[in-house]
Amino acid sequence: MTVTEPSSQPPAQLYVISAPSGGGKTSLTRALIERLAARGRIARFSVSYTTRAARAGEADGVDYHFVSMEQFRAMIDAGAFLEYARVFDRFYGTSKAETERWLDAGQDVVLDIDWQGARQVRDRAPEAVTIFIRPPSRDELERRLRARGSEDESAIARRLAEADDEMARADEYDHQIVNDVFDRALDALTEIFERKP
């Protein structure tokens, strides 16, 4: 009989981070993963599948897996998604197999998804840690969206309405962080990750 030494490495953890568009979750998540890597902790940013077209500077397999609506529907039918949601007339989803592979390899996985996806993950993986990133105010959120300079007035109005809907669900999450000062929000996010469940 072989006796296996217990691993000193805690099991890998699944994290969900949500925020309204312009809330800063992608910038915070990327900075978090870099910070954790510098401390010897591997956390992977899950690359979602989407039916939207790639924007300038985006690379397939890096920013998103860009697929057709037909491909996405086939993946739904095959049960390939841990979660998926329709956002602004486009579909987004997280690969179940890819997520499980990384977790089995001992790597934490971070999902940058909206409240619809977060609810599905909570149902399918109740051990997941969920975090909501809040803007300091709605006015600041609007300022950030306008500062992007990439959308017209109707798109900004739609994003603000969606933000109101998202923020109304913030209490469903395990943790909430206000992204008023980036470094302070990053410290708060890091603390959650270092407080391994």
DSSP secondary structure string, 112-138? Answer: E--HHHHHHHHHH-TT-EEEEEEPS-H
* pLDDT for res 1: 40
Please, what are the domains in the chain?
14-194 (3.40.50.300)
| Alpha carbon 170 to its chain's center | 14
* pLDDT for res 6: 43
Contacts of 49 (CB under 8 A, 6+ apart): 64, 65, 67, 72, 75, 81, 84, 91, 92, 93, 94, 95
* pLDDT for res 93: 97
Both structure tokens of 123: 């149902």
Both structure tokens of 126: 């109740």
Both structure tokens of 132: 């909501």
pTM of the entire structure? 0.86
138-148 and 153-167 helices cross at what angle (nearest 10)? Answer: 140
Q: Spell out the per-residue pLDDT of the chain, length 197, in tens.
A: 444 444 455 689 999 999 998 888 889 999 999 999 999 999 998 999 999 999 889 999 998 999 999 999 999 999 999 999 988 789 999 999 999 999 999 999 999 999 999 999 999 999 999 999 999 888 888 887 888 767 788 888 888 888 889 999 999 999 999 999 999 999 999 999 998 65
Strand partners, 109: 14, 44
